[in-house]
Structure 1
């Protein structure tokens, strides 16, 4: 039972990557087939498809490289379990981009060329995440900077001290 958690991570990564690969191939095949049979490719639609689906292929490739478990060819032992695909931060954002691209491809295949504009949601969402991350970091840094000042200590006393001040009683700070 050595490395049980690594083996579980490897199994989870393998199933997630296989499912994602089949989903990616299926959605792109659906898009191309609907374009061939119902709405023929024009030069601009082909350029949009290549340009806007490239990030999903790059993310798929990146997930394969960083998270696909590797085994020893001779013994079958697990060499590397891969990175956790359920990690927060950048990995989570990449999953969002991948799923949003899937949705856009399906909508473009079904509804038409105007649905490409939905892809603009990705940069807007990224800007929103960057802004909230920056403001959150800014607030936490402001809290660290003001922790040592004597003015801040008076306002951030214990609840008991704040209640006593509210009632007008004198509170002595040490």
Structure 2
């Protein structure tokens, strides 16, 4: 049972990547069929350009995940490298979200029309929000390490009472009610 975890990761990555490729292929073929057969009158070069332009981030992410996640095997069939964990948090998770959202936009655009591509505007808004909250969290964390936090916490750390404790003492302390 040598490398059991690596073999499990390789099998899981292979399954996930194959499923992602099939969904992507099906979604894009569905878009093209709907545009060519059902919505033939509204099919224009602009539609095709929008599809290529706005689907390309998902294709890039899909091929990147393929590159880092696909396991490699030696010529004798032994596992050489299991690939990166495709269920990792952080950037990998964001890449999957980007791919899922792009697939949703493609499906909506295939059924509704070119106006559905405006749904894709959520991605930069979400990215900006995530970056801003991360930076703010880092700033708070760094301020806490440097001793530049709130005045209340500094006062409480220095042995003084916080504002809340002072208010409680002013009111006669904390009262407990028994039933």
1:11 and 2:30 matched: no
The aligned length equals 166
Sort the Cα spacing of 1:157 and 1:26 in 2 relative to 1 into closer, same or farther, 3 A: farther
> 1:156: Cα distance to partner?
3.3
How large is the Cα RMSD of the aligned pairs?
Answer: 2.5
Cα distance in 1 for residues equivalent to 2:92 and 2:157:
37
TM superposition outliers: structure 1 runs of 4+ over 3 Å: 151-154, 161-168
Write the deviation string for residues 130-162 of structure 1: whole angstroms up to 9, x where unpaired. Answer: 1111111111111111179xx95531379xx76
Q: Normalising by the residue count of structure 2, what TM-score does the alignment of the two structures yield?
A: 0.84
Q: Residue 83 of structure 2: SS of its match in structure 1?
A: coil
> 1:39: Cα distance to partner?
1.6
> What is the 5 A alignment of 1:1-174?
1-40=1-40, 41-74=43-76, 76-146=77-147, 153-156=154-157, 167=169
Cα distance in 1 for residues equivalent to 2:121 and 2:75:
44
Contact 1:146–1:152, Cα closer than 8 Å, also in 2 = no
Cα distance in 2 for residues equivalent to 1:138 and 1:147:
10
Sort the Cα spacing of 1:78 and 1:38 in 2 relative to 1 into closer, same or farther, 3 A: same
Please name the residue that 1:171 is paired with.
none
Contact 1:104–1:118, Cα closer than 8 Å, also in 2 = yes
Q: Normalising by the residue count of structure 1, what TM-score does the alignment of the two structures yield?
A: 0.86
Structure 2 unpaired stretches of 5+: 171-179
Q: Residue 79 of structure 1: SS of its match in structure 2?
A: strand
